Structure 1
Amino acid sequence: MNKSPKLPQKLMLLGSGELGKEFVIAAQRLGNYVIAIDRYSNAPAMQVADCCEVISMLSAEDLETVVTKYQPDFIIPEIEAIRTEKLLEFEKRGITVIPTAAATNYTMNRDRIRELAYKELGIRTAKYGYAVSLEELILVSELIGFPNVIKPVMSSSGKGQSVVDNPTKIEEAWNYAIANSRGDSQKVIIEEFINFEIEITLLTIKQWNAPTIFCPPIGHRQERGDYQESWQPAGISEGKILAAQEIAKKVTDALGGAGIFGVEFFITQDEVIFSELSPRPHDTGMVTLISQNLNEFELHLRAILGLPIPHIELLAPSASAVILASEKSDSITFTGVAEALAEKDVDIRLFGKPTAHPYRRMGVALAKADNIQEAREKAKKAADKVELNY
């Protein structure tokens, strides 16, 4: 990567959700040309991109068509459901895939990244196993023990994840995981349930020509396997922060390339345990839209383009809280936004998703305050004021 890159660059975004939308905004502020790709029309990032295409990203033929048409300088995946073998081919043609085609192929499946961390790098993870049928799942669950966590090896934002506390719930967990699996995978991972004090995301920025750097750790809370709120800083000891940074650097060094990685950990009283990794901006990292001088999308862009990141500053204790749909609808309006924005140091992002269904994330409330508890309360209060009308 050239230390003084030319701008603009042509960026192709594979997946055009709310995280992609913020990335497009960051990219266009520096004059780049962005092509937004997704499987449905009017996806959030398409609304702000220079142009867009609707394709199946699991189709090698469709990917070939759009790449041939636009000839991008960079291909930037935002989701898991991509025919990643095709990315290896594009990379051989001289197109830069972020973080790399091989890394994207590795991290699109939970089994591959878990095998890399545990077997190849010797990193502590939860005990785990795999199953490709209900019968196999029953056997592996008994070996792992209860409670355990069952989830697809390939999904996004925690979809398809269940905590199973006894054998009678295994079949329900299997059906839920398969129904929410991305791509054509029929494989689930079963994990030991970790009795953690807090879950964190360590946003790890890998650069082409500069050292790996980190954002202050982000704490988060999940329901149904999906994030509900996040806060920064996470409030863990300096020793545990350093331990998490060491693990994150070890894994991302093995993957290579450049860009931001959302590295998730379970923090117990005595341990820092690697959980998962996403090679792109993380949903819990939306808190950085209000908490930092450079948000995670701007950091991702700078790392991709080889632009300097001289300083990451936490502006104030901050939090995010999601705004969820409760019904299925093809026509949504919002009320209560003015009331939510009346509070000092509160911001709202509405993603512009064209359809709603129960528990779909439609927006996020952001808040900063003098301390984390106050920031979390402000964000939750603001999110509760925003009402969806179906």
Structure 2
Amino acid sequence: TLEIPTSDYRFVDNRQDFLDAVSEIGIPCVVKPIMSSSGKGQSTIKRDADIESSWTYAQEGGRAGAGRVIVEGFVDFDYEITLLTIRHIDGISFCLPIGHRQEDGDYQESWQPQPMSDVALKRAKEIAEKVTSALGGRGIFGVELFIKGDHVYFSEVSPRPHDTGMVTMISQDLSQFALHSRAILGLPIPNIRQHGPSASAVVLVEGESNNVRFGNLQAAVAEADTQLRLFGKPEVSGKRRMGVALARAEDIEQAREKATRAAAAVTTEL
């Protein structure tokens, strides 16, 4: 084992083992499919009445279909970060920590850098290096961590560019996508330069359509140091992230407000 701090957890393969795990870990606890994205299949059990629906949702929402899930003890964290970790030809590099806010397990906004103590950042890097070294390979890894004071707990890892890392398209001279490509191709990765406090906010569309159209784009990018990326997804069923607004400012709070305004300015026609 890597002997890194985590919440208490159990892997379960059937309903009875799931019920036993919830009983052992206690409520509240978090339930996740072992493979999912954008929070699909993930839920928090806050009371006994949530147990059955949480199991059903995990079985329906996993990227690999029904099967194994993980039950995790709830961590009372101060904030959570993504530490983008790059394994490349010359070793391991880190981007500055990215803070983010989620709703129902799905990213809504992110910002960089996330303020944190030197002790916590050092521990975060140590954990990220252990995890990514155990996985091996080259490329960028989105290592998610819970922070409570100076204590750091490993949450999960994505062996690819991370949704919260889209902020790097405006915050850094080399975005997470450029870093991933360089690492895979064996190209050098120099010092990563920061452009200043930056933030991202998702353009979320809700409804049913196979011909989504966007409007009011001039207003969305009217402020200085603001960008908009629409993903080109033609259809939506329910809720779907269809783009991201990016902003840079004098401090993180201003950057978050600017990115949120830009995302909110985008109109959609279904």
| Coarse TM-score class (shorter-chain normalised) | over 0.9
Q: Larger C-alpha radius of gyration, 1 or 2?
A: 1
* Partner of residue 179, structure 1: 60
Measured in 1, the distance between the counterparts of 2:151 and 2:66 equals 32
Pair 1:347 & 2:227 matched: yes
Measured in 1, the distance between the counterparts of 2:134 and 2:16 equals 35
Cα shift readout 1:297-339 (whole Å, capped 9, x = no counterpart): 0000111111111110111100001111110211100112111
Normalising to structure 1: TM-score of the pair?
Answer: 0.68
Cα shift readout 1:4-49 (whole Å, capped 9, x = no counterpart): xxxxxxxxxxxxxxxxxxxxxxxxxxxxxxxxxxxxxxxxxxxxxx
What is the CA distance between 1:177 and its match in structure 2? 1.4
SS in 2 for 1:358: strand
- Alignment-mate amino acid for residue 325 of structure 1: V
Pair 1:272 & 2:175 matched: no
* Partner of residue 145, structure 1: 26
Pair 1:215 & 2:105 matched: no
Report 1:100-179 matches (<5 A). Answer: 120-179=1-60
SS in 1 for 2:209: coil
Measured in 2, the distance between the counterparts of 1:270 and 1:294 equals 29
Measured in 1, the distance between the counterparts of 2:49 and 2:38 equals 26
Measured in 2, the distance between the counterparts of 1:207 and 1:130 equals 32
- Give 2:240's match in structure 1, choosing from 357, 360, 370: 360
Measured in 2, the distance between the counterparts of 1:149 and 1:293 equals 37
What is the CA distance between 1:286 and its match in structure 2? 0.1
What is the CA distance between 1:187 and its match in structure 2? 1.5
Q: CA RMSD of the aligned region, Å?
A: 1.1
Measured in 2, the distance between the counterparts of 1:202 and 1:270 equals 16
Measured in 2, the distance between the counterparts of 1:316 and 1:162 equals 35
Q: Which has the higher contact order (CA 8 A, sep 6+)?
A: 2
* Partner of residue 303, structure 1: 183
* Partner of residue 239, structure 1: 119
* Partner of residue 86, structure 2: 205
Normalising to structure 2: TM-score of the pair?
Answer: 0.97
What is the CA distance between 1:341 and its match in structure 2? 0.6
Gaps of 5+ in 1: 1-119
Alpha-carbon contact 2:117-2:150 (below 8 Å) kept:
no
Cα shift readout 1:66-115 (whole Å, capped 9, x = no counterpart): xxxxxxxxxxxxxxxxxxxxxxxxxxxxxxxxxxxxxxxxxxxxxxxxxx
Q: Which moved more, 1:152-161 or 1:340-349?
A: 152-161
Pair 1:321 & 2:207 matched: no
Pair 1:334 & 2:225 matched: no
SS in 2 for 1:334: strand
* Partner of residue 312, structure 1: 192
- Alignment-mate amino acid for residue 361 of structure 1: R
Q: 1 or 2, which has the higher helix percentage?
A: 1
Cα shift readout 1:321-379 (whole Å, capped 9, x = no counterpart): 11111102111001121111111111101001121122211000100100000000111
- Alignment-mate amino acid for residue 345 of structure 1: D
Alpha-carbon contact 1:221-1:229 (below 8 Å) kept:
yes
Runs of 4+ in 1 over 6 A off after TM superposition: none
Measured in 1, the distance between the counterparts of 2:78 and 2:178 equals 30
* Partner of residue 7, structure 1: none
Measured in 1, the distance between the counterparts of 2:141 and 2:189 equals 15
Alpha-carbon contact 1:327-1:356 (below 8 Å) kept:
yes
* Partner of residue 372, structure 1: 252
Alpha-carbon contact 1:138-1:167 (below 8 Å) kept:
no
Measured in 2, the distance between the counterparts of 1:336 and 1:178 equals 39
Q: Which moved more, 1:268-277 or 1:362-371?
A: 268-277
Measured in 1, the distance between the counterparts of 2:267 and 2:100 equals 23
What is the CA distance between 1:158 and its match in structure 2? 2.2
Measured in 2, the distance between the counterparts of 1:181 and 1:318 equals 32
Alpha-carbon contact 1:218-1:231 (below 8 Å) kept:
yes
What is the CA distance between 1:270 and its match in structure 2? 3.7
Cα shift readout 1:161-203 (whole Å, capped 9, x = no counterpart): 1111111101111121111111244121111111111110000
Alpha-carbon contact 1:153-1:185 (below 8 Å) kept:
no
What is the CA distance between 1:237 and its match in structure 2? 1.1
Gaps of 5+ in 2: none
Measured in 2, the distance between the counterparts of 1:170 and 1:137 equals 9
How many positions carry a matched residue from both structures? 270
* Partner of residue 294, structure 1: 174
Alpha-carbon contact 1:325-1:357 (below 8 Å) kept:
no
Q: 1 or 2, which has the higher strand percentage?
A: 2
